[in-house]
Structure 1
């Protein structure tokens, strides 16, 4: 029987552990727009917690916490947080209010409680120990296993709507403080309306008396201050006859009248905002308490049930998810400015076709990788699949030498881009145009009618490669002017050092006639020189940069190194291409690479001053791997991108290396 029980327990253990791991994500509200997951177990897999404790002791973090709380803190373990689980931070926006919250797993609730200072009052709210900030718009509660953080802020324009002012008996906005709004009826359910405060609730709220007394004293102090400033009984006035200028008194009276009005308006507006904010904060406090009750009891709809949340690996440090990107963006738009500029009465729903944005920070040995992707709706997916269908011209790849300083590649289908640009333009800017929406439509129609996407697509196919071979300092002569005491000037020839980039840019073209005609015209009109097929543009005075053009095998080359251009023209270019670089440019729709090993040489060549304490760090850049940003374009309905860099193998992994680097630069606090 015991053996059977043991076997059963072993079989159930993974399920039990999974349920425990999912416990906190199940309490994240389903309507959260932003979710950040911190995988503390993965963090301390790559960082020794003793090293972190030593660093925090060095910078005085534990001393600060100990001074603020009731306990003594010498290490992270004294805080009571469970570092073997995940912590969640989220944000939820509506048209009226923005909630922000956090869920922290606890291993010792008593230790966590000792973070609370002796002057802070711990209240029992719905059975949970809780503390609030001064205006009670942020609440922290905890039980034996979890610490809950929940706060809220409101959007001013919502609480200035006439129907909302009437509903909650808020003060009327000060005249001319904001323009009038013509809000249409909104049948959509409002998140914050789930808590409705009746008019007489203001009279019964616990904070009302304190608020009234506070504001009475506050305005009495202001009135006293104004009285003191206006008392001129002890001031000696000396009268001086002013010069007789026409209309001077009228101008002075007008200015004084305007300044007096501005002062009165400022005081009145400040009175309005402080009164309104205090009343709205009471609403926020009620909504916070209600939402906290739903979260802690599990009655709120769960994020994990509404959205697919994948398992995080042990190398994933943090995860970011943005749901309904348009709603997040819209919540930060300046509604009043949009009204005054474009005449937008009611904020429209912003829909850029981005359903979700996600990202992760991952440690892959000595490489740190930040990955991100955006999930597009059906319409935008169709546009971008066509735009990113273009592949890189394989003839470009031989110019990616191993010793290049860096390169950027970009491949898109120009014909598809011009074809779908009007629709994308209308979708992005149409809702924000207000009374100018007809001009947005007209602009989109103009591009649709005027531009011939097939013809332009032949001239500029859309695949590009820019290669930076290096930077060379060059002395350049220029004319300056020297002035004598009588401001007579004399021309003086001077020299300056200019950093000249050695670069090569190329793009494909099936119809090079326009470039050929431009170069022919330039030879007669702009002093363009033809060096056996390599065309040199005239230099700008005072600049050492010389540009060269070459058209060969359906490729247009633009560069700054005449010798390299001649080698390409005569088929004598020695480069064969570095295979890892060739793979990146060939595979990805967009890529940027910087050869970090070249950084110390670049600093010396450009004579960039480096502080003594940073010198070793700059020299160590020669041991770094490449810094790469790349995007494969569209895969399914997602467009993705990745940023990565290889660090020296000095501390075992990328996160430990970065932490050690931070430790070197942060001074000890004594």
Structure 2
């Protein structure tokens, strides 16, 4: 995307924060859109006015990035000609051959947009009331009239162009005939275009483009004469310099010219010559061999062939893009995204931003390279999803939900059929902790459903292997027995960071006899201070493991608790089994209080409900971590100051999952707004300002 296009897109997305509700262009979004992002200007204008936004660093940065010829004419973002009183949209429309990323914005003054393009020396065509701008290869398009502006960035899919019938029709290389040898026949590949691949370069070597002569640059070896130094013994006597023997250097390997498939190598070959016969001349050891003799080759035929392939693909994509854009502004009766009930259901007037995906499973397969998953369906059973951002007076909230298939929803309900152990609250002191994370799942149900999940993921291409693996898994594991040892609920409490004095061994060299001596030293290391609680019912296996560890001197029995004693442990670790709970922590005093029933707990109703009423919950207080990060030699002092400033400015953060409703699984993350802040939007800008300083 060129500089102007980047500025235009940035402006469109930023301007949305300043608009109020007027014409709504949602009916122009096609029904087959894969994803839609909605930005509500009327909600945001109540939180920050246009005038206030112009004075922020983002407003100044937007205007500052405009071309020099435009800066004098655009003193405010209102001069972009965009209607600041409506809703803005981004949507993706794609098929098996092309993907369109589109931005749809309302227009207030089309003349201002015309002037913006003219002042930027961007030529556009005019057809009645419709203006159109195309970039150099027509894969980026901006089209506008007096009502709306549409920006489209299109990109072809390699999976389509690699089909044999498509390659043959367009005159592209036949990808099915490419071998590893052919693919590696060239060392130089043109990478200036997204569509260019190494395979393309290898298969188009015989294209009828003139080949420029190979440019060769050679540097001769620099000879240095080292003067023999007169050496003096400790006794004070001088000795003549020793005879310098000829130092042997390996001859440089042959450097072959980069060739294409149908091209023959040159008969003459280049070498890096090293004179090993003259004892008075040696190569500088600090200079690599490549600096003495170097061949620089330009394979013009390959570069031209790659450009030709990219041009063919771009031409095809451009024709699709023009067709797609030409029908967009027609007043036809085609179905819009409003015919999709799931999208309509996701609309929330209170949300400032809403992102909706039609099908999560298909979206991952469409947007991720096929080579990554190789046919494995990671999100099999996951349907539509949405994420919503709420900027409120006292909090920032992000809610998300995803629709599951009937089979997947049934598995989720079984796995989440457990609550967090209430006894955990007896070992929580909210005055000490920096954060926590709690979860609860049914171990037995999870182990029973796990083979089915694996089958759904791998069954499409590894059905036989997946069936055998899952059967073996179920045969070897006794789900009932495992669920009694580890019931499935846990609580991780993070108390911050602390410094420990660590003993380690190193080596020092004796200058007298040049032998190394082993010495023991100490140093301070920063480690997390935490406590982990896991529910258990049957401790027989755990007791056997502990006894084995004590026998092997890996575990120290401290009577009521245990210490893990191994040099590989990065921090001191203590554990105990008490009150039907496995405790693992880094604070020995805290562990003693637990086993002696002396721990002082303190939990407010807010944290109590957060831990017990959700299958997953988390909390983090950034302010409590501020100032606890050690200023050691590795940490940049200025960066540490900025980090502490940022931590002090953040409010408390909460995460939670909600109960399943039908086939919909949902969750939420929120952050409190400090009392001195006016609202969430201005608070976000204040944080961004601090980060930019």
Q: 1:71 to 1:309 in 2, by over 3 A?
A: farther
Q: Provide, for residues 102-145 of structure 1, a one-character-per-residue CA deviation record: whole Å limited to 9, x for no partner.
A: 11011111112222145322113586210001100111111111
Tell me the equivalent position of 1:417: 446
SS at match of 2:418: coil
Instruction: Please report how far the alpha carbon of residue 442 of structure 1 lies from its aligned counterpart in structure 2 after TM superposition.
Output: 2.5
Q: Provide, for residues 298-353 of structure 1, a one-character-per-residue CA deviation record: whole Å limited to 9, x for no partner.
A: 53431111243248556522111111222221123434577xxxxx6xx6887611
Tell me the equivalent position of 1:503: 530
Tell me the equivalent position of 2:428: 400
Instruction: Please report how far the alpha carbon of residue 471 of structure 1 lies from its aligned counterpart in structure 2 after TM superposition.
Output: 2.7
Instruction: Please report how far the alpha carbon of residue 282 of structure 1 lies from its aligned counterpart in structure 2 after TM superposition.
Output: 2.1
Tell me the equivalent position of 1:322: 357
Q: Provide, for residues 565-616 of structure 1, a one-character-per-residue CA deviation record: whole Å limited to 9, x for no partner.
A: 2322232221142322221111121122112231224236989967459748
- Is the contact between residue 573 and residue 585 of structure 2 (CA under 8 Å) also seen in structure 1? yes
Supply the distance in 2 between the matched residues of 1:357 and 1:85 (Cα, whole angstroms): 25
- Is the contact between residue 410 and residue 591 of structure 1 (CA under 8 Å) also seen in structure 2? yes
Tell me the equivalent position of 1:143: 145
Output aligned runs, 1:232-311, within 5 Å. 259-261=258-260, 270-299=303-332, 300-307=334-341, 308-310=343-345
Output aligned runs, 1:390-469, within 5 Å. 390-403=418-431, 404-431=433-460, 434=461, 436-469=462-495
Tell me the equivalent position of 1:223: 211
Q: Does 1:586 find its partner at 2:591?
A: no
Q: 1:507 to 1:587 in 2, by over 3 A?
A: same
- Is the contact between residue 63 and residue 71 of structure 2 (CA under 8 Å) also seen in structure 1? no
TM-score (norm 2): 0.76
2:415 pairs with 387, 392, 395, which one? 387
- Is the contact between residue 68 and residue 116 of structure 1 (CA under 8 Å) also seen in structure 2? no
SS at match of 1:290: helix
Greater relative contact order structure (CA < 8 Å, 6+ sep): 1
- Is the contact between residue 31 and residue 92 of structure 1 (CA under 8 Å) also seen in structure 2? yes
Tell me the equivalent position of 1:372: 400
Tell me the equivalent position of 1:98: 99
Instruction: Please report how far the alpha carbon of residue 627 of structure 1 lies from its aligned counterpart in structure 2 after TM superposition.
Output: 1.7
Instruction: Please report how far the alpha carbon of residue 154 of structure 1 lies from its aligned counterpart in structure 2 after TM superposition.
Output: 0.7
Supply the distance in 1 between the matched residues of 2:486 and 2:615 (Cα, whole angstroms): 16
Q: 1:439 to 1:374 in 2, by over 3 A?
A: same
Aligned residues: 582
Supply the distance in 1 between the matched residues of 2:401 and 2:97 (Cα, whole angstroms): 29
- Is the contact between residue 24 and residue 86 of structure 2 (CA under 8 Å) also seen in structure 1? no
SS at match of 1:116: helix
Supply the distance in 2 between the matched residues of 1:358 and 1:87 (Cα, whole angstroms): 17
Supply the distance in 1 between the matched residues of 2:682 and 2:529 (Cα, whole angstroms): 36
Supply the distance in 2 between the matched residues of 1:524 and 1:388 (Cα, whole angstroms): 39
SS at match of 2:328: helix
Tell me the equivalent position of 1:199: none
Supply the distance in 1 between the matched residues of 2:613 and 2:451 (Cα, whole angstroms): 28
Instruction: Please report how far the alpha carbon of residue 162 of structure 1 lies from its aligned counterpart in structure 2 after TM superposition.
Output: 1.4
SS at match of 2:56: helix
- Is the contact between residue 526 and residue 630 of structure 2 (CA under 8 Å) also seen in structure 1? no
- Is the contact between residue 23 and residue 86 of structure 2 (CA under 8 Å) also seen in structure 1? no
TM-score (norm 1): 0.78
SS at match of 1:580: helix
SS at match of 1:282: helix
Tell me the equivalent position of 2:542: 515
Q: Does 1:356 find its partner at 2:384?
A: yes
Q: Provide, for residues 343-396 of structure 1, a one-character-per-residue CA deviation record: whole Å limited to 9, x for no partner.
A: x6xx68876111112101111213212221111111111111111111111111
SS at match of 1:475: strand
The two structures, once aligned, show a CA RMSD in angstroms of 3.6
- Is the contact between residue 327 and residue 350 of structure 1 (CA under 8 Å) also seen in structure 2? no
Tell me the equivalent position of 1:641: 667
Q: Provide, for residues 46-78 of structure 1, a one-character-per-residue CA deviation record: whole Å limited to 9, x for no partner.
A: 123222212359845324425354971011111
Supply the distance in 1 between the matched residues of 2:59 and 2:133 (Cα, whole angstroms): 30
- Is the contact between residue 383 and residue 420 of structure 1 (CA under 8 Å) also seen in structure 2? yes
Q: Provide, for residues 627-653 of structure 1, a one-character-per-residue CA deviation record: whole Å limited to 9, x for no partner.
A: 222223533212222222223233301
Q: Provide, for residues 5-51 of structure 1, a one-character-per-residue CA deviation record: whole Å limited to 9, x for no partner.
A: xxxxxxxxxxxxxxx96741111111111211111222232123222
Supply the distance in 1 between the matched residues of 2:580 and 2:139 (Cα, whole angstroms): 65
- Is the contact between residue 70 and residue 116 of structure 1 (CA under 8 Å) also seen in structure 2? no
SS at match of 1:46: coil
Q: Provide, for residues 380-418 of structure 1, a one-character-per-residue CA deviation record: whole Å limited to 9, x for no partner.
A: 111111111111111112322222111111111111111
SS at match of 2:518: strand
Q: 1:604 to 1:480 in 2, by over 3 A?
A: closer
SS at match of 1:389: coil
Instruction: Please report how far the alpha carbon of residue 462 of structure 1 lies from its aligned counterpart in structure 2 after TM superposition.
Output: 0.4
Q: 1:384 to 1:279 in 2, by over 3 A?
A: same
Q: 1:579 to 1:375 in 2, by over 3 A?
A: same
Tell me the equivalent position of 2:589: 563
Q: Provide, for residues 538-558 of structure 1, a one-character-per-residue CA deviation record: whole Å limited to 9, x for no partner.
A: 422386733223223322222
Q: Does 1:46 find its partner at 2:75?
A: no
Tell me the equivalent position of 1:663: 689
Larger helix fraction of residues: 1
Supply the distance in 1 between the matched residues of 2:180 and 2:301 (Cα, whole angstroms): 14
